[in-house]
Structure 1
Amino acid sequence: MTTRNTTPQPVHPAREHARSELTRGPFDLLVIGGGILGTSVAWQATQAGLRVAMVDAGDFAGATSSASSKLVHGGLRYLQTGNVRLVAENHRERRALSSDVAPHLVNPMPFLVPVYKGGPHGAAKTAAGVFLYSALSAFGDGLGRVVSPERARRLAPGLRTADLKTVATYHDHQMNDSRVAIMTVRAAVEAGAVALNHAPVVGLRTTHGRVCGADLRDTVTGAEFGVNAQLVLNATGPWVDHLRRMEDPAAAPSVRMSKGAHVVLKTDQPWRAALTIPLDTHRVSFAIPWEGHLLLGTTDEEYTRDPADVGVLQRDIDQILGEAGTAISDDVLDPAQIRYAFAGLRVLPAGGGSTSAAKRETVVTRGRGGMLSIAGGKWTTYRHIGRLVLDRLRKERSVPLSEDMAPPLRTVPLPGLGQPEAVAHRLLADRQPPARLDPLVARHLASHYGNVALDIAELVRADPALGERVHPDGPDIWAQVVYAREHEWAVTVDDVLRRRTTVTVRGLDTGEVRDRTAALLEPLAR
């Protein structure tokens, strides 16, 4: 297909360059989908020496991958099913992410497990569980143990103490999933991949019945163009079967979906620990201090409608608050304090039974046209899933990937590597206007960008107005908006306010904020 532009207009040079590069195929691998799986495969494959292209119909991590519980964890609940090996493997990857790959983005967090009279698990079983959980991580985060209700309430001020028998503790990690996703895209691009968001597939290209690329539309300009590749990987998450039916209209469903909703709640007192609240033998609910708020969730119910229509309903909010209420005081769970709510879709293997009991495993299929489809996974093991795909490609000899091009999984750091405390200190060291930053802003930039925060500070130095806060109640500044536009593929207001910054999740994306953000994004169309 020849490139044509249905609504001619100039576009940001970097975006135009990426689109031009995409037409200069063929690539070894075209990854369709820029969520957890797509970004991981693109990063791993580029490290292995392949020429890789990655496209997404919307924004990178624009759907489920930015709607997680923000956890990097071993999976305490998996001990209930006896899957000790899985927990140990998750722990190893969690430790790698937090110590070598992304210590600037993955942060330690103590967790409390309250045990109530009449609850699904007893005190002895819970205590043994957190001890084993700690042992499986080689006690790298300390010893899982039991603490007094008084100590627990100091860490989690809203903890309900009525009928509370004991509280067990363990440690996991949390992250800002959107920031990890963007840094992974950046890592892939710096390694040689070509990436473009807001470019949906309008058709698959075939030669002699084999899928050999895709036709796409740039929704920013309306331009249509094609990408040729030796192999096409379908990593579109909830849309995986939709793309499979483009290849084969008779393709049977390979996955089913479960909706997970969360709410973000403002609290009067800061929490220093998260709660893992057992609901039954399969499910838990979380209450996690996050971005100065409390993140509650999640739901787990089968979803059969259009993935594009997923959203938070009032019954989701009622369920989340009700389940949290088994361990959190009513005065904390005031619906008027909800600042934001979001929902994502877990992609699970097709089959029967409840979604909460379904295995969280990756589904890999190959269609009759040779397109490889992959779905299902979680942030904790996203690097390993990328390697799983490469191992399969090598085994099938689908792409020119030799053994010496694919060493064992390495702990290659994401861009921005640097301890947040040290970066914040550097940001605060220059106390002269216009480079001087508020300490809260400096700590925020350091913990969300690592040493890339120094580049944002340079924008403030060049234009002091960019050092102003986007909203007086939050730590994000306007320089982040400009940086997102110039270096992080941000196109829309939501790209910036929800996924590049924390403005939306704090409930601060007012009409005035959105208008000014849109104005700063206008250079994209100059």
Structure 2
Amino acid sequence: MRTFSFIERKRLLKRLGEKHYDVIIIGGGITGTGIALDCVTRGLKTLLVEMQDFAAGTSSRSTKLVHGGLRYLKQFEINMVAEVGKERAIVYENAPHVTHPEWMLLPIYKKGTFGKLSTSAGLRVYDFLAGVKKNEKRQMLSREETLAKEPLLKKDGLIGGGYYVEYRTDDARLTIEVAKKAFEKGADLLNYTKAEGFLYEGGKISGVKVRDVFTDKLYEATCQKVVNATGPWVEKIIEKDKKIKGKGLIHTKGVHIVIDSERFPLKQAVYFDTPDGRMVFAIPRDGKTYVGTTDTFFEGDLSNPPILEEDKEYLISCIQYMFPDLGINIDDIESGWSGVRPLIQEEGKGPSEISRKDEIWVSESGLITIAGGKLTGYRKMAETVTDMLAKLLDEDGIKSSPCITRKLRLSGGEFESPKEYELFIGRKSKELQEIGLCEEDARRIAAVYGTNADIVASMESLLLPDVELPLTIKLLVHYSIMHEMAITPEDLFIRRTGASLFNVNWVRKWEEPVTLYMKKCIDIITE
């Protein structure tokens, strides 16, 4: 039986040259995994390669919202707002364990970016374009009602607020669940496998040369079509083929900071004005409050964009502006993350003005590249790319089925509806307590892993006795290795659990024994 594991990764690399694929996708972020899922569910033989871990780039460094982009109404990007607004509901229906409704408060101030009338009209249009459910339609609040929702807000000049629904997500886990579903449906996926170059036949790309990052061994995989979905790295992949004229990417950096809720006890997610006319989120999560994002041009290391002092100072100044009574300063920052956005270049526009729309183009050799876009619209972007692939492959005599991802439940999200998920957490957490988990850990596993919670619990039979770790941690280590292709401690701490972002003290406490335990587990299962 195939499992989405390090073992399967080794097997797949060994037989890579034996299989001819219909499609090879370069890039294991949300866009690439989304395309892999759409392709494989249409009956196409699909391979995905990622030079880092899945979601290691932009797809683990977002604001962690599946949202419609209210601010894009100001830029008159009506079609984008309508499309991603509707996609929010689809993501929620298909993955309620990683996507949760989050009421967002938009405070309105005298001389602010949004007035009462414009906010009311904007949110009404937003609801209409996004097809928002009746019980999630916007509300307009008085000054008193706004302060009741969030007492920490700046009171000077406050005249009211808008109240509307967005969806909070774990971007990395969403990507992993998409990848797991693609694997379950028959796609081959490889992390830590770098695309080094292309194979050609008659001037057209006929395959990809890939290198195992761990062994440095080079492999070749043949295919009909190649999709470049590498986000900030798309131009680096294009350069391995032929430079496409007339297109250009601009990179902007987004930084988020995390502060413990004892210092920043935010009750309510807030989307607020900044002194420089931008909008910033402050969101409570798991005993923390995170704030972001910055938006600055970036030309440095795409893999590890730094969080500079000026980034911290900017976000702290935003907090001090909107929550002046707290006395928050740089020393209160507990952790944070920084990511790079790949945007289609638009002359004369600043970082926050550049459209987040996606574009697709094809080189003379047949390389299909997709760039731009938003986390929320990943499924629709994948459908658009796969529609193009289906037409091209049809010309080669390769038939495919229509898209089915609109109603396809992701791994762990196989519920009839999100309402069933809420009932599931209570029932499943009681069952998990029977194997020795405390109530808090049991509820968390049920909530985070959804319908995969029983598989997490089944890892009990594999636990190793010679490293002192709590039961919960051992279960998560084994599950991450055996069913989520985790290989390094960073995979576990950052992208499988998010602990490095929202529970950094826990990571510091358990980092050494977890690293030792992971090594022992991988050594045993690969003997």
TM-score, scaled relative to structure 1 = 0.89
Distance 1:401 1:114 in 2: 57
Q: Answer whether contact 2:6 2:487 (CA < 8 A) is retained.
A: no
**Is structure 2 residue 521 aligned with structure 1 residue 521?**
no
Q: Does 1:305 align with 2:306?
A: no
Q: Is the 8 A contact 2:469 2:513 kept in 1?
A: no
Does the 8 A contact of 1:230 with 1:399 survive in 2? no
Structure 2 CA distance for aligned equivalents of residues 155 and 478 of structure 1: 40
Deviates more, 1:352-361 or 1:389-398: 389-398
Q: CA separation of 1:192/1:452 partners in 2, compared to 1, >3 Å: closer, same or farther?
A: same
SS of the residue 2:314 aligns to: helix
**Aligned AA (1:107):** H
Please state if 1:114 is matched with 2:110: no
The residue matched to 1:167 in structure 2 has which SS? strand
1:128-167 matched pairs, under 5 angstroms: 128-140=121-133, 141-167=135-161
State the partner residue of 2:437. 437
The 5-angstrom pairing of residues 357-506 of structure 1 reads 357-397=353-393, 405-407=401-403, 410-417=406-413, 418=415, 419-430=420-431, 435-460=435-460, 463=463, 477-505=473-501, 506=503
1:216-243 Cα offsets, whole Å, 9 max, x none, are: 1212233321111111111111111011
Work out the CA distance in 2 between the residues paired with 1:402 and 1:25.
16
Which position in structure 1 is the counterpart of 2:35?
41
The Cα offsets for residues 399-426 of structure 1, whole Å up to 9 and x where unpaired, read as 7587761246531010112444333323
Report deviation, 1:27. Answer: 0.4
CA distance in 2, matches of 1:399, 1:114: 54
Instruction: Report how far residue 14 of structure 1 moved.
Output: 1.8
**2:297 is equivalent to residue 296 of structure 1:** no
- Cα distance in 2 for partners of 1:508, 1:478 equals 18
Q: How many residues align?
A: 509
Deviation digits for residues 65-87 of structure 1 (CA, Å, limit 9, x no counterpart): 10000111122112223333432
8 Å contact 1:459–1:479 — kept in the other structure? yes
User: 1:278: how far off?
Assistant: 2.6
Structure 1 residues 409 and 21, CA, compared in 2 at 3 Å: closer, same or farther?
same
The answer (yes or no) to whether the contact 1:265–1:293 under 8 Å persists in 2 is yes
Please report how far the alpha carbon of residue 502 of structure 1 lies from its aligned counterpart in structure 2 after TM superposition: 2.4
Distance 1:498 1:47, change over 3 A: same
Whether the 8 Å CA contact 2:26–2:32 is kept in 1: the answer is yes
Corresponding residue number in structure 2 for 1:4: none
Q: Say if 1:61 and 1:181, in contact at 8 Å, map to a contact too.
A: yes
Deviation at residue 496 of structure 1 after TM alignment? 0.6
Q: Tell me, yes or no, if structure 1 residue 276 matches structure 2 residue 271.
A: yes
Cα deviation digits, residues 72-109 of structure 1 (max 9, x gap):
1122112223333432322221112212x111211000
Change (3 A) 1:405 1:245: same
Residue 494 of structure 1 deviates from its aligned partner by 0.8
1:401-457 Cα deviation digits (max 9, x unpaired): 877612465310101124443333233323765x13222212222222112122212
Amino acid at match of 1:451: T
Q: Residue 517 of structure 1 aligns to which amino acid in structure 2?
A: V
Mapping 1:155-234, distance limit 5 Å:
155-234=149-228
Please say if residues 261 and 342 of structure 1, whose CA atoms lie closer than 8 Å, have aligned partners that are also in contact. Answer: yes
Contact 1:238 1:347 in 2 (8 A): yes
Provide the C-alpha distance between the structure 1 equivalents of 2:478 and 2:294, rounded to a whole number of angstroms: 35
5+ residue gaps, structure 1:
1-10, 471-475
Q: Which sits farther off after the overlay, 346-355 or 489-498?
A: 346-355
User: Is the alpha carbon distance of 1:41 and 1:313 closer, same or farther for their aligned partners in structure 2, counting shifts above 3 Å?
Assistant: same
Bigger drift between 406-415 and 35-44 goes to: 406-415
The aligned amino acid for 1:524 is I
Counterpart CA distance in 2 for 1:520 and 1:253 is: 47
Shift of 1:297: 0.5
Q: Secondary structure at the match of 1:81?
A: coil
CA RMSD of aligned residues (A): 2.6
Deviation at 1:324, TM superposition (A): 3.0
The amino acid of 1:291's aligned partner reads: D
More helix by proportion, 1 or 2? 2
Alignment of 1:75-90 (within 5 A): 75-90=69-84
Q: Give the equivalent residue in structure 2 for 1:96.
A: 90
Q: How many Å apart are 1:37 and its aligned residue?
A: 1.2
Distance (Å, rounded) in 2 between the aligned partners of 1:77 and 1:328: 22
Q: Which amino acid aligns with 1:112?
A: L
Deviation at 1:501, TM superposition (A): 0.6
Structure 1 range deviating more: 171-180 or 512-521 = 512-521
Q: Are the aligned partners of 1:384 and 1:409 in contact in 2 as well (CA < 8 Å)?
A: no
Residues 487 and 383 of structure 1, relative CA distance in 2, 3 Å threshold: same
Aligned to 2:314: 319
CA shift at 1:511, angstroms? 4.8
Counterpart of 1:243 in structure 2: which amino acid?
I
Q: Please give the alpha-carbon distance, in whole angstroms, between the structure 2 residues aligned to 1:23 and 1:399.
A: 24
**Aligned partners of 1:411 and 1:341: how far apart in 2?**
34
1:170-208 Cα offsets, whole Å, 9 max, x none, are 111110001100000001111110001001122222223
SS in 1 for 2:453: helix
Q: Displacement of 1:356 after TM fit?
A: 1.0
Higher mean C-alpha deviation, range 424-433 or range 413-422:
424-433
CA positional deviation for 1:341? 1.2
Q: Which amino acid aligns with 1:521?
A: M
